[in-house]
Amino acid sequence: MWSIGGKQLKGRLMIGSALYPSPEIMTEAIQSSKSDIVTVSLRRQSPHDKAGQKFWELIQSLSINILPNTAGCKTVKEAIAIAHMARELFKTNWIKLEVIGDDYTLQPNTLLLVEAARELNRQGFEVFPYTTEDLVVADYLVEAGCKTLMPWGSPIGSGKGLLNTFLLKTLRSRFPSVNLILDAGIGTPSHATQALELGFDGVLINTAIAKAHDPIKMAHAFYHAVEAGRLGYEAGLMASRDLATPSTPTLGTPFWHQEK
């Protein structure tokens, strides 16, 4: 069990709800992931039309924590408006805050992100900001009241994995009491394992699962990858060495050797 946003959770894998071939496959993939949290976007699916209403009912039927996001927002005003809509619709003060600054890389506009985060925290939201691995920006977000940070590994949907492990490690060491969720760029289960081995508290996966040949099986693969990464981190990972070290002693006689 671990604590995030005032709730106790079992799993450390968060899963997205976009891009699946069908609502049925989405539902089965989310269940297969054993995730306690699913993210949804109000900008990309209107809850007021017929199809949108069916989608919201399906998401709510999963009986897991819903993390609405402000995907697609480019201004502070827009992001705050979407956050209020989400709080009213889902009866939650959780919001995954996204303020996009570049259409090509979908990199966050960190200046506006901090401004929006400060205002939403002031209004009683539990803000989960999607940010870069920048240490200074992280410091401003924590100062603004964020107890969770969601830095990217690489651009959204790129599948390139963790491009800057040095700065990601630095974030972990500098903010030991802040929940760190690796968000964006994860393409394979091994990327998720790597994030958890760095000490991150969890990962958010969408494209790598939804666009897999078998999203249901891939969701289960990510579940095991996250579990393995966390167990490895807690057990204490072996330090890398420049020279080989034999696992069998070179001095003395192995205990299984018997003289004839």
The number of residues in the chain equals 260
- Dihedral (C-alpha) 21, 22, 25, 29: value to the nearest 10 degrees? 70
Catalytic position from the list 34, 54, 77, 96: 96
User: In terms of DSSP bridges, do strands 94-97 and 13-16 run parallel, antiparallel, or are they unpaired?
Assistant: unpaired
Alpha carbon distance 18, 55 (integer Å): 11
What own/partner pairs with CB < 8 Å and gap ≥ 24 does 16-24 have?
A: 16/204, 16/205, 16/206, 16/207, 16/209, 16/210, 17/41, 17/59, 17/206, 18/44, 18/206, 18/210, 19/206, 19/207, 19/210, 19/211, 20/210, 20/215, 21/215, 23/54, 23/55, 23/58
Strands (E), 47-131: 65-69, 94-97, 126-131
Is residue 6 within 8 Å of 126, Cβ to Cβ? yes
10 is known as an active-site residue: no
Token pair recorded at residue 243 = 């020279």
Q: Provide the annotated active-site residues.
A: 96
